[in-house]
Amino acid sequence: MKHSSERLAFAAPRLISAGLLCVSLSGCMVGPNYHAPAVPAPPSYKEPAPASTIAVPAGETWWKVFNDATLDELEKQAIAANPDIQIAVAHVDQADAVRRSVHSAQLPTVTAGASVSRNREAQQRPNNGNTYGHAATYNDFQLPLSLSYEIDAWGRIRRMVQSATASQQATEADLRFVRLSVAASVATDYYTLREADADINIVQTTLVDLERGYEITNNQFRRGLISELAVRQAQTILDQTRARVEALHIQRSQSEHAIAVLLGRPVAGFVIVEAITLPRPPVIPAGVPADLLGRRPDIASAERSAAAASAQIGVARAAYLPQISLTGFAGYESTNPASILNWQNSIASMAASAVAPIFTGGRLKANVDQAQASYRESVGQYEKTVLTAYQDVEDQLAALHYLSRQFDAENNAVADAKRAEEIANNRYNTGLVSYLDVVFAQQTLLSNQEISTQVQGQRLVATVALIRALGGSWNK
């Protein structure tokens, strides 16, 4: 025990000095300190933004503002089972594992081992004094505990941790963006499907009237009251309308198939019950452009990617400086396993080393240049993402503004077409015109009703697109 105390007393000052050296050196970090890139933020949007006090639902379930139970259930299933979301979750897990792996480099690495060997040394080997010039055969048993530690004197490892942490945060933002995009895609396909449902109902209702009109026109032709031309015109309108129904069924089927895939389900067996009415879209407040910087996950991802690239500049610059390491081991060694744990058979060693580059053929400078270029690229990507976000909101505000005016005009056109149909019926009943005039009036009414329904569907889709452009939240 006396020898143990003496060794500890001898090693303690050195260990304390080495620790103080590590602390003093670790305060230095090469490379630039990151600041978020500055981007222009207009005071308001160019396109008219309607005022609204509608609140965003809690928990980022923005689709609840549409008050549609079917949509709510579809969104719930998509968030739980969409393959793209599952892939994004895996990316987050990978990035977190990388961050933890890089962070571990800040701590010492300790390993334990055991070795057994049997050795024979030659008689005429150099420095053969221990065996008096004879050959020697012996066993060697070792139980070492090894330690290695890189002193982060220049902040290389800390910059690596910063970069890995920022990259992980970027993947978390990517996950939020994927969830937002999937939810928006479900809502878009859903209202495209509902638009087809409403159109099919309108066309099928008109189809009944057109079939009756064709029968009346054909009967008039058979009685010699009108020419065959009128019959063929009525037949043409009827066939065109039947073809329109089939085209709408294609649109509905494809939208239903797309929703099934978004929900992570096979198309076979997936059915959405028909609904013949379209709701009015909710009015979403747009706020101001600067709000997007804190709301949109793609902007957050681009900013975190820039932070990760900035930290890599420090990693590249630290390669110019010496890499300082501590290594050591302690344990036991003996030729006899029975006495290996005796104190006299203990072994220990501690060493420090510093390795500095002298000539690398320009590799280190090239690595710094590459890191700086990557950072400039990430800043440019961040600025582009912000500008694109502004554009996305402006596009949807413009769409909603003009679609609202178009919807009002189409409603007026539908009312006018209904009145024209009534006049045509009255004139036919009084014998002033043939029933073909009524058929033409019905065709005009159908066309305007379809356009009105399509515009209403486009307003719903544009509202979904505006919510996506706003980052899935507002009023906060």
Domain ranges of the chain: 31-107+154-321+363-469
pLDDT for residue 25? 46
Mean pLDDT across the stretch 177-188? 97
Pick the residue with more confidence: 134 or 329? 329
Lowest mean pLDDT among 11-25, 124-138, 418-432: 11-25
Mean pLDDT across the stretch 409-429? 93
Residue 49 confidence class, pLDDT cut points 50, 70, 90: confident
Q: Give the integer Cα–Cα distance in Å for 230 and 238.
A: 12
3-class DSSP assignment, residue 120? strand
Angstrom CA distances, 347 to 5, 144, 350, 353, 457, stand at: 15, 8, 11, 20, 81
pLDDT for residue 143? 85
Phi-psi region of 157 (alpha: psi -120 to 50; beta: other; left: phi over 0): alpha
pLDDT for residue 416? 95
pLDDT for residue 7? 43
pLDDT for residue 368? 96
pLDDT for residue 245? 93
Residue 101 confidence class, pLDDT cut points 50, 70, 90: very high
Angstrom CA distances, 241 to 234, 238, 252, 275, stand at: 11, 5, 17, 21
User: Exposed (0-12), middle (13-18) or buried (19+): which is 84, by Cβ within 10 Å?
Assistant: middle
pLDDT tens readout for residues 330-339: 888 888 888 8
pLDDT tens readout for residues 273-294: 999 889 999 999 988 999 999 9
Q: Give the integer Cα–Cα distance in Å for 377 and 111.
A: 41
Percent of the chain exceeding pLDDT 90 equals 67
- Residue 177, pLDDT above cutoff 70: yes
Q: Give the integer Cα–Cα distance in Å for 78 and 75.
A: 5
pLDDT tens readout for residues 130-144: 555 577 787 888 888
Lowest mean pLDDT among 13-22, 36-45, 371-380, 408-417: 13-22
Write down the mean pLDDT value for the chain.
Answer: 88
Q: Give the integer Cα–Cα distance in Å for 329 and 312.
A: 33
Residue 10 confidence class, pLDDT cut points 50, 70, 90: very low
Mean pLDDT across the stretch 33-62? 85
pLDDT tens readout for residues 231-245: 899 999 999 999 999
Mean pLDDT across the stretch 25-45? 85
Single pTM value for the model:
0.86
Lowest mean pLDDT among 24-28, 121-125, 189-193, 269-273: 24-28
- Residue 5, pLDDT above cutoff 90: no
pLDDT for residue 184? 97
pLDDT for residue 128? 60
Pick the residue with more confidence: 466 or 436? 466
- Residue 186, pLDDT above cutoff 60: yes
Fold classification of 31-107+154-321+363-469 (topology level): Outer membrane efflux proteins (OEP) (1.20.1600)
